[in-house]
Amino acid sequence: MVQKNLIDGEWIAGSEAFRNINPSDTNDVVGEYARASAEDARAAIAAAKAAFPAWSRSGILERHAILRKTADEILARKDELGKLLSREEGKTLAEGIGETVRAGQIFDFFAGECLRLAGEVLPSARPNIGVEITREPVGVVGIITPWNFPIAIPAWKIAPALCYGNTVVFKPAELVPGSSWAIVDILHRAGLPKGVLNLVMGKGSVVGQAMLDSPDIHAITFTGSTGTGKRVALASVEHNRKYQLEMGGKNPFVVLDDADLNVSVEAAVNSAFFSTGQRCTASSRLIVTEGIHDRFVAAMGERMKGLVIDDALKAGTQIGPVVDESQLNQDTDYIAIGRQEGAKLAFGGELLKRATPGFYLQPALFTEATNAMRISREEIFGPVASVIRVKDYDEALTVANDTPFGLSSGIATTSLKHATHFKRNAEAGMVMVNLPTAGVDFHVPFGGRKGSSHGSREQGRYAAEFYTTVKTAYTLA
């Protein structure tokens, strides 16, 4: 059965369909999905525009109930949805279920936020006048998501958009339509009025582009590559619309001489290789001071030997396959580039064969890398990391900040002085002390600086900045 697009409250088949393939076993077709056309995208935008006036004035209890019901169903079905996610994206079952639970928690959080919408009442600078400051929805929000978090990223964009009274046109990544289809189905059945949430699965160059080109989309929130992010920005400037971009990272993880070796290695392995390194918060630059360098590298090698890389759904798998062939080629190209640049491939980097045909890659660790190398400057987005040796903390901080990106920065240290200094001086939106660079909470702000992000933060109460616009009203008493 082909899973359809949702436009104006109707499931629409479209003229084409595409297949969702399991990267752990390319013979396994997860499902077939209707491919939306540019026309479908325009119909979805028109439906969202028509639904906006009523939804923007809907009662907070109605919104609360729909988001709450959605949270409950996602959490009740976490094993089944987590399995679907792991099957289509390739992260391990534990990671897939964990991400699904996070999506449920996000809907739960924003269900609560519906009941906490607030403004401010201030005296005017002039006598006998009152000032009210309120937040209103922005209008039709376009949501474009990547493949690496198939349920959490759609959740952290859709939930606040609906909570604050916007209507939505949602285009998930074509590689992973299953999880997105499932949450749209749940929201639809939870009672969303027609046209409030529209799903258009299909190619970015067609469906996504039709969204960028539409004057009727008032805000676009995007997560993905830097190149596509720039297109979103340029088109949004053209239409004078609000936009928010979450793009790549080249996140540093600093290990100081005084660090606990086990804590550093666990955090580094998690940051660099878990979720197959396919997280924008992954660390691919391990910046290590001289005194601990050799011990750290040896311990990383030992730890990496024990990693189980296999079918995402198999019990005991710690690292699943790369998402698809093109991403695998990108990873192996960078491994070749690192060697050509003079870094030493100390561990891993081999293609692996498993019981089923899939995109299996042994995590790779380079040593003797410099921060000027391409492997240290460009986002690889796979299980490939480099160790950069530095003299001391000051050099570590300089190297950590010497990057076009600024999403997450980590440090392993037992020194309060260095931890405090790093928290203040890391040029990143998120800082982790003795923790992996990846792995964040659902109720606090998420986002970066420099080339990693543009616009206000996502998640938690800070999401209101993007999904609302502020009104200041003056009344003569």
Please, what is the minimum distance in Å from the beta carbon of residue 197 to ligand NDP? 17
- Burial of 47-62, coded b for 16+ CB within 10 Å and e otherwise, reads bbbebbeebbebeeee
Q: Which residue, 205 or 262, has its beta carbon nearer to ligand NDP?
A: 205
Say if CB 152 and CB 183 are below 8 A apart: no
Which span sits near ligand NDP by CB under 6 A: 90-98, 139-147, 423-431, 436-444? 139-147
Say if CB 468 and CB 138 are below 8 A apart: yes
N-terminal to C-terminal alpha carbon distance within the chain: 63
Residue 362 and residue 383: Cα distance in Å, rounded? 8
Based on the shown chain and the rule CB under 6 A, indicate whether residue 205 belongs to the binding site for ligand NDP.
yes
- Number of residues this chain uses to bind ligand NDP (CB under 6 A): 27
Q: Which residue, 289 or 403, has its beta carbon nearer to ligand NDP?
A: 403
**What is the x/- site pattern for ligand NDP, positions 92-131, by CB under 6 A?**
----------------------------------------
Active site residue 280: yes
Please, what is the minimum distance in Å from the beta carbon of residue 473 to ligand NDP? 36
Q: Which residue, 74 or 207, has its beta carbon nearer to ligand NDP?
A: 207
Q: Which residue, 109 or 222, has its beta carbon nearer to ligand NDP?
A: 222
Which span sits near ligand NDP by CB under 6 A: 16-24, 65-73, 166-174, 301-309? 166-174
Report the residue count for the chain. 477
SS (H, E, C) 109-129: HHHHHHCCCCCEEEECCCCCE
* DSSP helix/strand/coil, 40: helix
Q: Which residue, 203 or 449, has its beta carbon nearer to ligand NDP?
A: 203
Residues 360-379 that bind ligand NDP (CB under 6 A): 379
356 exposure class (CB count in 10 Å sphere: 0-12, 13-18, 19+): middle
Identified catalytic residue from 280, 379, 458, 465: 280
Residues 271-330 that bind ligand NDP (CB under 6 A): 280, 327, 330
Q: Which residue, 250 or 293, has its beta carbon nearer to ligand NDP?
A: 250
Q: Which residue, 179 or 228, has its beta carbon nearer to ligand NDP?
A: 228
Please, what is the minimum distance in Å from the beta carbon of residue 213 to ligand NDP? 9
Both tokens of 4, joined, read: 């359809």
128 exposure class (CB count in 10 Å sphere: 0-12, 13-18, 19+): exposed
Please, what is the minimum distance in Å from the beta carbon of residue 247 to ligand NDP? 5
Please, what is the minimum distance in Å from the beta carbon of residue 143 to ligand NDP? 10
Q: Which residue, 135 or 218, has its beta carbon nearer to ligand NDP?
A: 218
Please, what is the minimum distance in Å from the beta carbon of residue 445 to ligand NDP? 16
Judged by CB under 6 A, the residue of 147, 393, 405, 467 near ligand NDP is 147
Residues 207-246 that bind ligand NDP (CB under 6 A): 208-209, 212, 223-225, 228, 231, 246
Residue 79 and residue 101: Cα distance in Å, rounded? 9
Active site residue 163: no
Residues 402-461 that bind ligand NDP (CB under 6 A): none
Judged by CB under 6 A, the residue of 173, 265, 304, 345 near ligand NDP is 173
Which residue carries 């919104």 as its tokens? 63
Which span sits near ligand NDP by CB under 6 A: 5-13, 38-46, 202-210, 352-360? 202-210
Q: Which residue, 164 or 170, has its beta carbon nearer to ligand NDP?
A: 170
- 175 vs 19, 23, 32, 461, CA distance in Å? 9, 10, 11, 30
The radius of gyration of the chain's CA atoms, rounded to the nearest angstrom, is 23
Please, what is the minimum distance in Å from the beta carbon of residue 326 to ligand NDP? 8
Residue 147 and residue 404: Cα distance in Å, rounded? 23
Judged by CB under 6 A, the residue of 104, 160, 178, 248 near ligand NDP is 248
Residue 411 forms beta bridges with which residues? Answer: 254, 433
Please, what is the minimum distance in Å from the beta carbon of residue 305 to ligand NDP? 27
| Distance of alpha carbon 41 from the chain centroid | 23
DSSP string, 218-252: -EEEEES-HHHHHHHHHHHHHTT-EEEEE----EE
CB-facing half-sphere around the CA of 214: CA atoms within 13 A:
26
Identified catalytic residue from 95, 113, 174, 246: 246
Say if CB 132 and CB 120 are below 8 A apart: yes
Residues 330-349 that bind ligand NDP (CB under 6 A): 330
Instruction: Output 101-105 pairs: Cβ under 8 A, ≥24 positions apart.
Output: 101/75, 102/152, 102/155, 102/442, 103/74, 103/151, 103/152, 103/154, 103/155, 103/183, 104/71, 104/72, 104/74, 104/75, 104/78, 105/71, 105/75, 105/442, 105/443
Say if CB 4 and CB 34 are below 8 A apart: yes
Judged by CB under 6 A, the residue of 22, 70, 105, 148 near ligand NDP is 148
Residues that bind ligand NDP (CB under 6 A): 144-148, 171, 173-174, 203-205, 208-209, 212, 223-225, 228, 231, 246-248, 280, 327, 330, 379, 381
Catalytic residue annotation: 246, 280
